[in-house]
Structure 1
Amino acid sequence: MTDTWRERLLPASFRGISFLIPQTSVPVGMKGQLHEFPQRDTPFFEPLGKQSQVHKMTAWVIGDDCFDRRDKLIEALGTPDAGELVHPWLGRMQVKPGECEMSHDLVGGGMITFDLTFYPDVPLKTPAARVNTQAQVVKSSESLLTSSLNRYQSAMGTVNQARLGLLQMRNSLSNVFSVVQQQFAPFVSVFTDVNGFAQSLMNSPGSLSSLFSSYFSSFSGSSFFSSRSGSGYRSAVAAATQQVGAVSSINTVSTIGGTDAVKASQATANLVQDSVLVQIGLIVSEMPVATQPESIESMPSVEQQALQPIVRPDVPVADDVIELRDHLNEAIHDASLKADPDHYLALNSFRQAVVKHLTAVAQSGVRLVDVTPPETLSALVLAYRRFGDATRAPEVVQRNRIRHPGFVPALPIKIAQR
């Protein structure tokens, strides 16, 4: 047997002070503006949102202790903060007291009447600072470049150029020149081969620092990250990972040869290494913290997707980003072991900024999971069954290096969790 409406009523109170409510009212429905026009019989109502829930009620404080409860209720109504109102018909709610009126009546005896007004409490959201990790990476990259150029110029200033031998410089800088060719394409037209590279350093050591300064003045990491292609994170992570390997390959140079040749070769290797790190930082700074895509309740059929492919926002794979972060962290740490105190601070600040940003990017991404298809399937069918999105078939093929997209073997493979 269900309770009657009387049994379901709650005892009225505000901030724990009880009273009786003979009647109450609250606006409901929509507020708006009624437009009426001369010589027209069709008025137009323009909705302007829901009505504000302003509770107006008559409250009675009755009993031998009515004066004590009256004073407590007056104090409760004079408190500016929100309090709990127990509404007999509508339940518990947080409200703020507004304009109220109290009246006494000799005929009424031990009863005080209140006309109460309560406004809905909308909690203010506490402002929360959000660190722009992308901007921090850009700033730390610029600081690292400045420190690197200064270190190179200081080191080359102590080198006696007359004691530099072409053969020694060429042998020491062969790996460094290979990195320059691979990572800084515009320099290829300046240095045709390792001999020209070594001769340029011997004749005009300051020209290399000028080249890097000019290169980064117009460099943009956005060329490695293109969200329009849908593979922005993948291409950026792949490019940065390849460059991290280049950083580690020239951490030190051969110590065979004269003191000045070794010093000049190491200073050059340090400049190129730092420049690759700066380039990685600018590429990483273009990788935003992703917004998780909304789940699609009903996936269209394969035929519909063939006519109108699903547009899916680009989301990073957390495992790839974490792997890049860890390798980059190790490469920067190794480079900092041979840095002077001032340059060590620049490298360490750069390392912290990059690691912090890549951690945030990874947290916004998706993890990889191991999946074993029940039978040999095509990548298109597997992607549709797993994600409901047949256009993600190339993702499955590239991730697992499948030889033919039409035949995914019934073996464990790695695919995105969602």
Structure 2
Amino acid sequence: MDKTWRDAMLPASFRGISFLIPQTSVPVGMKGPLHEFPQRDTPFFEQMGKQAQVHKMTAWVVGDDCFERRDKLIEALQTPGAGELVHPWLGRLQVKVGECDMSHDRTQGGMVTFELTFYPDVPLKSPSARVNTQQQVVKSSTSLLDSSLGRYQSIMAKVDTARLGLLQMRNSLSGVYGVIQQQFAPFLGTYSTLTGFAQSLMNSPGALSSLFSSYFSSFSGGNFFGSSRSGGGSNSGYRAAVAETTQQTQAVSAIDTVSPLGGADTVAASQATANLVQDSLLVQIGLIVSEMPVAQQPVSLDATPSVDQQALQPPVRPEVPVADDVLELRDNLSEAIHTAALKADPAHYLVLNNHRLALVKHLTAVAASGVRLVDVTPPETLSVLVLAYRRFGDATREAEVVQRNRIRHPGFVPARPIKIAQR
């Protein structure tokens, strides 16, 4: 036989002290002010969230031992903190006691009446610390720069510059100079040619470390995430930052070692220079990566604007990283730093390894906030605009699809698998 409403009721109690409840009330619905305006017959109610579940009830303590049970209930009501209320109709609740009244009536012998108020107990959340991985990368980059400059100056102080050969220096540092041309363009005013670069190292080896120190004192991280970022521009945001740091990571691996040909002083000076440029690239990568924020989850729109509406007013959306790209950068960067650390002395090895761990931790957090790529096969030959609108509800993302899949003609996307963001 099915249970009736009487069977579903529970015996009322608070902190184990039982009593009877003839009636109870609790607010439900939404709270908010009612706005009424002169000369208008239509009022307006402003909803401001759910009402607090404040339980108000009349409680009876009945029986020959009512005074003894009354005192126990008073003690329970006056005990600080939350307690369990067994509500006949609502079940077991964690509540805190509010204002209560107790009354005695001579004509109602053997009964004590209570007017009870219970407030819902919402446990305070324990404060949780969140690691600022961006600042950790900045600190590790600063430590790496200091250690790198010190290592370079220490090695160059032991080199006999009189024994350096210009031709051997030029041959050994051609790759390093190419990296300077591509990644440290401001230095070209000082080192306009490879020969001039080699001669400067022979005549004034400390000038290079001073240039790097000055360069990073005003380095701003590349400005990929400035206030003017629109969220999808080709020269800003996650895609540009990942592309730039990926290129620099490849340059880090390209100059890991120099030619062993030449005298001992020439090889030592060339390797010290390559190490300084390599470490400086890692510092620059770290400062750019530290500007990558952990993306906030985008808010879905209630309705998708039509293509005509999007043509007049393109939708504005927060940019999120593509997790696959960030994870690939993380793994390649970790491998490049590990390889560079193998030729470092123990002290500098620890600095490089700490930088690697900080980068890996932050890039992992950035990737976790991003979107994954999925394989999508169009049902028929479509234009990229139609494909982007159907997939994302945003026709302006056509450039993203074209760039990732290197589509030759955006008007004709063949019916074959392509890579596209999950959302």
Instruction: Find the aligned partners of 2:273 and 2:355 in 1 and give their Cα distance.
Output: 20
TM-aligned CA deviation for residue 112 of structure 1: 2.9
TM-aligned CA deviation for residue 296 of structure 1: 1.9
Deviates more, 1:165-174 or 1:50-59: 50-59
The match for 1:417 among 415, 418, 422 is: 422
Residue identity in the other structure for 1:80: P
Report SS of the residue matched to 2:117.
Answer: strand
1:127 corresponds to: 127
Superposition pairs of residues 22-101 of structure 1, within 5 angstroms: 22-26=22-26, 30=31, 52-64=52-64, 66=66, 69-88=69-88, 92-101=92-101
Instruction: Find the aligned partners of 1:45 and 1:224 in 2 and give their Cα distance.
Output: 46
1:380 corresponds to: 385
1:343 corresponds to: 348
TM-aligned CA deviation for residue 310 of structure 1: 1.2
TM-aligned CA deviation for residue 10 of structure 1: 5.0
Residue deviations 1:293-332 (CA, integer Å, cap 9, x gap): 0112321111111111111110000000000000000001
The match for 1:352 among 353, 357, 378 is: 357
The match for 1:279 among 284, 301, 306 is: 284
Asked if the contact 1:225/1:235 (under 8 Å) is kept, the reply is no
Instruction: Find the aligned partners of 1:374 and 1:31 in 2 and give their Cα distance.
Output: 50
2:114 equivalent to 1:114:
yes
2:221 corresponds to: 221
TM-aligned CA deviation for residue 69 of structure 1: 4.2
The match for 1:366 among 371, 383, 387 is: 371
Report SS of the residue matched to 1:22.
Answer: strand
In the superposition, the TM-score normalised over structure 1's length comes to: 0.90
Report SS of the residue matched to 1:276.
Answer: helix
TM-aligned CA deviation for residue 392 of structure 1: 0.7
TM-aligned CA deviation for residue 55 of structure 1: 3.2
Report SS of the residue matched to 1:93.
Answer: strand
Instruction: Find the aligned partners of 2:46 and 2:310 in 1 and give their Cα distance.
Output: 38
TM-aligned CA deviation for residue 16 of structure 1: 4.0
Instruction: Find the aligned partners of 1:117 and 1:65 in 2 and give their Cα distance.
Output: 24
Asked if the contact 2:320/2:371 (under 8 Å) is kept, the reply is yes
TM-aligned CA deviation for residue 107 of structure 1: 5.0
TM-aligned CA deviation for residue 12 of structure 1: 2.6
TM-aligned CA deviation for residue 11 of structure 1: 3.7
TM-aligned CA deviation for residue 81 of structure 1: 2.4
Instruction: Find the aligned partners of 1:236 and 1:72 in 2 and give their Cα distance.
Output: 68
Residue identity in the other structure for 2:210: S
2:394 equivalent to 1:392:
no
Instruction: Find the aligned partners of 1:108 and 1:51 in 2 and give their Cα distance.
Output: 36
Q: CA 1:306 to 1:126, structure 2 compared with 1: closer, same or farther past 3 Å?
A: same
2:40 corresponds to: none
1:41 corresponds to: none
Asked if the contact 1:224/1:239 (under 8 Å) is kept, the reply is no
Superposition pairs of residues 306-317 of structure 1, within 5 angstroms: 306-317=311-322
2:189 equivalent to 1:184:
no
Q: CA 1:46 to 1:409, structure 2 compared with 1: closer, same or farther past 3 Å?
A: closer
Residue identity in the other structure for 1:318: A
Gaps of 5+ in 2: 37-42
Q: CA 1:156 to 1:362, structure 2 compared with 1: closer, same or farther past 3 Å?
A: same
Q: CA 1:399 to 1:30, structure 2 compared with 1: closer, same or farther past 3 Å?
A: closer
TM-aligned CA deviation for residue 7 of structure 1: 7.3
In the superposition, the TM-score normalised over structure 2's length comes to: 0.89
Instruction: Find the aligned partners of 1:145 and 1:64 in 2 and give their Cα distance.
Output: 84
Equivalenced residue count is: 414
Superposition pairs of residues 158-173 of structure 1, within 5 angstroms: 158-173=158-173
1:403 corresponds to: 408
1:254 corresponds to: 259
2:337 equivalent to 1:332:
yes
Residue deviations 1:47-100 (CA, integer Å, cap 9, x gap): 896765443332112235545644543343233222232334555533101343
Asked if the contact 2:256/2:275 (under 8 Å) is kept, the reply is yes
TM-aligned CA deviation for residue 230 of structure 1: 1.8
Asked if the contact 1:372/1:413 (under 8 Å) is kept, the reply is yes
Deviates more, 1:251-260 or 1:6-15: 6-15
Report SS of the residue matched to 1:140.
Answer: helix
The match for 1:230 among 229, 232, 236 is: 232
Gaps of 5+ in 1: 36-43
Instruction: Find the aligned partners of 1:88 and 1:354 in 2 and give their Cα distance.
Output: 57
Deviates more, 1:135-144 or 1:76-85: 76-85
2:266 equivalent to 1:264:
no
- Give the CA RMSD over aligned residues: 3.0
Instruction: Find the aligned partners of 1:137 and 1:62 in 2 and give their Cα distance.
Output: 69
Report SS of the residue matched to 1:228.
Answer: coil
Residue identity in the other structure for 1:264: A
Instruction: Find the aligned partners of 2:305 and 2:44 in 1 and give their Cα distance.
Output: 39
TM-aligned CA deviation for residue 33 of structure 1: 11
Residue identity in the other structure for 1:351: R
What percent of counterpart residues are identical? 76
Q: CA 1:229 to 1:25, structure 2 compared with 1: closer, same or farther past 3 Å?
A: closer
Asked if the contact 1:25/1:55 (under 8 Å) is kept, the reply is yes
1:38 corresponds to: none
Instruction: Find the aligned partners of 1:136 and 1:400 in 2 and give their Cα distance.
Output: 35
2:304 equivalent to 1:291:
no
Residue identity in the other structure for 2:366: V
TM-aligned CA deviation for residue 224 of structure 1: 3.4
Asked if the contact 2:231/2:318 (under 8 Å) is kept, the reply is no
Instruction: Find the aligned partners of 2:373 and 2:23 in 1 and give their Cα distance.
Output: 60
